[in-house]
Structure 1
């Protein structure tokens, strides 16, 4: 059996090169503007699964205060390094904390809660989704919005590349190296709505030689979010918005 490490784990290349991969992903184009438009001027934002802070930093640069929560130390370490290099005017609007979004209680509320880039889909669509929606509702002001980005079920059912050696990403790195990604395995279980895939990260030096190689297991779950939101007291605010052809952003409100 292929030995893998989880996505975003310590020493994983998915964590180390998160910014490279997301910057290259055209399917994310427009998500930051979408979230910014949902927040009232100067409104407070909670981001669940903030990772290295791609969204949080961009919103803070737009004048919005953001608390970013993530469970992965490797991702928070990156956010912390970037925060230390951020101008004070922006940094003062940012706070990053380690926490579990299925059990979080910050004892405060926000105008907007974000769960972006398929973060919720990493959790099994059962108790974990119910608990996360309860956390979202707990942290929302009355009238506040929650934005949740989920993958499309039809795309999750598609098979992986016929050739595992085929590159699905090939991006330049500082110093002349490259980051390359391959999909080694991909399986979808319709009975539980789960996609399992193994993505191999390969870091190459300027001479083309392999510096690091890391097969990493990524799992997504798909389900209808509306019943989970309704159970938490949230209602659909608008039809889901398609983003990049691979996912929808669902917007709910607390009334």
Structure 2
């Protein structure tokens, strides 16, 4: 097997085909409508883990002003390309910045702060979670809302498909296909950590391999409530289940 890259790294296929994978992911159905329902019409939104701009652009289309932050330069290239392709009205409501969600300080506040699509789960549930909740609280107006999408521990415990099986198989624009294999999957209950190696395979229209890239994806799971409370955030509603693998936790700044 070729060298294993981190997920969303430069030259990773997870970054290159992020939109293809998320567009086919029924487990995300309803997330954008949920986020939009948490903020005031035309309000300001801080998105941590903005990635390729899927959520940020959809919220801007609904009238929100969105600042999207991501650590991955490769993902931000795609987000800014989508911003450039949007109408002037939508594009002017968007700003994408590279930054670390555990130490971010934009010196301004927002109506809504969201940490989307398991972004928080990419870092260990300890100091990094405490710092990220503190960042969200610091960037919220009094009474502002934060929403965090996290994986379900019961889903993390499930075994993966056999390594030779196709976990994902979709056509690509212009011909060819994107295929994914789960080459490794291990959940360590004691520390709430799921480690996976997912191999991306891009094929041409004739079925030949164009590129392949095994990439390591790690998730951490824990109860976010104590971390939110330490940042001065209180539960605003019960968590909202999305599909079979995740839920969105909603907190309010006192």
Q: Same fold (TM over 0.5)?
A: yes
CA distance in structure 2 between the partners assigned to 1:35 and 1:49 by the alignment:
14
CA distance in structure 1 between the partners assigned to 2:170 and 2:26 by the alignment:
13
CA distance in structure 1 between the partners assigned to 2:251 and 2:84 by the alignment:
34
CA distance in structure 1 between the partners assigned to 2:130 and 2:253 by the alignment:
16
Deviations 1:17-70 (A, max 9, x none): 000000000000100000001010111000000000000000000011000000
- Alignment partner, residue 104 of structure 2: 104
Q: Residue 35 of structure 1 aligns to a residue in which SS?
A: helix
The two structures have a TM-score, normalised by structure 1, of 0.98
Is 1:224 the counterpart of 2:223? The answer is yes
Q: Please give the residue correspondences for 1:89-168 in structure 2 after superposition, counting only pairs within 5 Å.
A: 89-161=89-161, 163-168=162-167
CA distance in structure 2 between the partners assigned to 1:213 and 1:3 by the alignment:
10
CA distance in structure 1 between the partners assigned to 2:133 and 2:52 by the alignment:
22
Shift, 1:2, TM fit:
6.7
CA distance in structure 2 between the partners assigned to 1:57 and 1:42 by the alignment:
14
Deviations 1:164-216 (A, max 9, x none): 11111101101111000010000011111100000000000011100000000
Is 1:252 the counterpart of 2:248? The answer is no
Is 1:179 the counterpart of 2:178? The answer is yes
- Contact 2:233-2:253 within 8 A present in 1 as well: yes
CA distance in structure 1 between the partners assigned to 2:149 and 2:83 by the alignment:
25
CA distance in structure 2 between the partners assigned to 1:22 and 1:233 by the alignment:
32
Deviations 1:135-174 (A, max 9, x none): 000000101100000000011011111x211111101101
- Alignment partner, residue 25 of structure 2: 25
Alpha-carbon RMSD across the aligned residues, in angstroms, is 0.9
Deviations 1:213-234 (A, max 9, x none): 0000000000110000000000
Number of aligned residues: 254
Q: Residue 150 of structure 1 aligns to a residue in which SS?
A: strand
Is 1:15 the counterpart of 2:15? The answer is yes
Is 1:35 the counterpart of 2:35? The answer is yes
Shift, 1:119, TM fit:
0.4
Q: Residue 19 of structure 1 aligns to a residue in which SS?
A: helix
Shift, 1:3, TM fit:
2.9
- Alignment partner, residue 206 of structure 2: 207
